Amino acid sequence: MKRLEGKVVFSGIAIGKISIMKKENQSVRRWKVDDIEAEKARVDEAKEQAIGELKKLYEKAVQEVGESGAAIFEVHQMMLEDEGYLESIDNIIETESVNAEYAVASTADNFAAMFSAMEDEYMSARAADIKDISERVIRVLMGKGESGLDGNEPVIVVAEDLAPSETVQLDKSKVLAFVTKYGSSNSHTAILARTMNIPALINVGYGEEIDGKMGIVDGKEGILIVEPDEEVLERYRAAKEEELKKKEMLKELKGKPTVTKSGREMKLYANIGSISDVATVLQNDAGGIGLFRSEFVYLEKSDYPTEEEQFQIYKQVAQNMAGKKVIIRTLDIGADKQVDYFNMDKEENPAMGYRAIRICLDRTEIFKTQLRALFRASAYGKISIMYPMIISVKEVKQIKAIVAEIKAGLDREGIPYGDVEQGIMIETPAAAMISDLLAKEVDFFSIGTNDLTQYTLAIDRQNAKLDNIYDSHHEAVLRMIQMVVDNAHKEGIWAGICGELGADMTLTEKFVKMGVDELSVSPTFILPIRKIIREME
């Protein structure tokens, strides 16, 4: 038995035979040609055939993973029509008098190197797309068909890497899991694997000797087990059975409204920290995203993320959610979430110090960069913005002035943006106590119960010695929640809960009776909470 470690792209358990997917060697030879125009015509014909194949792939992907997951194949079609790309191919044919295959391969190498050298993460990732479309054109020029899996038995597909087109071309009924030696958790292939709900691992170092052997993909621990013994096999079969039972519950409740028997409806949204979580949100049928923790965009970088980098992330989340609400919390750095390049001073009590909106209103250029990215992305979906750690009406008015400045700038530049709801987190006793005043200034409240509890009870939630008296069910906390909900409703705005308490199923019924309009929880809690609410009178 052998255990090979990797990085999880999508969770789950798969048990079956391992099949190493070997790509056909597509080495390109160079030769001199006499008829330049004939070679250029060959490129045009191959390009048109490749676009036709991509259109079919798009249609197949729409059926399997939805429009957002299929969008990459529309992008590939546009890339094949790019003037710079096509002119480069024609120029190489003309100046070097070489065959079409060589000209396409050279252009692919040049463009891929150019994209890879870019500092922008999104643009550097386009190198893989250039290679993918170019290999497709070269294959057509060589008269070769599209590759796939042999045999009828479902297998664990293992490969050095998989292009998005290869991922979608595979017969889903024959794929138990994806395992690759290379790749990125943010690649289109990874996104497609998550959308297809197929367990997937990347960065797994494997050898040819595993081909055809029994394997287990553990998408929780991030391991590929080769030739498991009977005891391990039985343990994973039991875990797989439990996983299937949960999926059956998902099928039963998916698509059903989150409404009590008496007709009281509750918005049930999901909390996420990155794009990679969106597939889990969709899989668990959340009504939207109630908390996107944008600080993770900063935590994953070694320097301040640019406006363009942030825009691409927020835009992708909005598009993937296809019109469902996406509430993005602005930067909430500080306290237990420190970022080296922010160069912040050491504090005796960082939880009550220089953090969240306090940083944003002090370092306004960072804040403005994020707001521009958010408003630009709002043109591509239903984005709402939420501001953390508010303690005063003065702060809200400062934020509104900055937002007005951002919108005016976008208007001058002719950059579109959507109708963006703006709300605040109620996570300080100060905000709860003046929630009647704050409700006049914003579109919604979202109660952050983690911080609200620690500030109300004067208990550091990071201090393990105080766990026995840290009580999120404390009457003071529950009374504050009730006060916030009541004050929100008096001003005609909605109030939700996005803290961990929202997932406390012992309080679900109480929250419904309190009049809470929305609960935002980890995706795995969506269906169990929906079940409780649907069974309430």
Catalytic positions, written as ranges: 188, 498
Question: Which tokens belong to 43?
Answer: 């490129």
Q: Are 403 and 424 in contact (CB under 8 A)?
A: no
Name which of 329, 311, 315, 443 is nearest 386 in CA terms.
Answer: 329
* Main-chain phi, psi angles of 281, to 5 degrees: -60, -45
> What is the rounded distance in angstroms from the CA atom of residue 355 to the CA atom of residue 169?
47
Q: What is the DSSP string of 512-526?
A: HHHT--EEEE-GGGH
Map tokens 């994020």 to a residue.
370
**Helix, strand, coil fractions of the chain, as percent rounded to 5:** 50, 15, 30
Q: Max CA-CA distance within the chain?
A: 87
Between CA 58 and CA 192 the distance in angstroms is: 12
Specify whether the CB–CB gap between 508 and 518 falls below 8 A: no
The number of residues in the chain equals 537
- CB count within 10 Å of CB 229 equals 9
Distance, in Å, from the CA atom of 150 to the CA atom of 252, rounded to the nearest integer, reads 34
| Whole-number Å distance between alpha carbons of 447 and 158 | 45
Tokens of 62: 């729409």
Cβ 370 vs Cβ 402: under 8 Å: no
In sign, the C-alpha dihedral spanning 427, 432, 434, 440 is positive
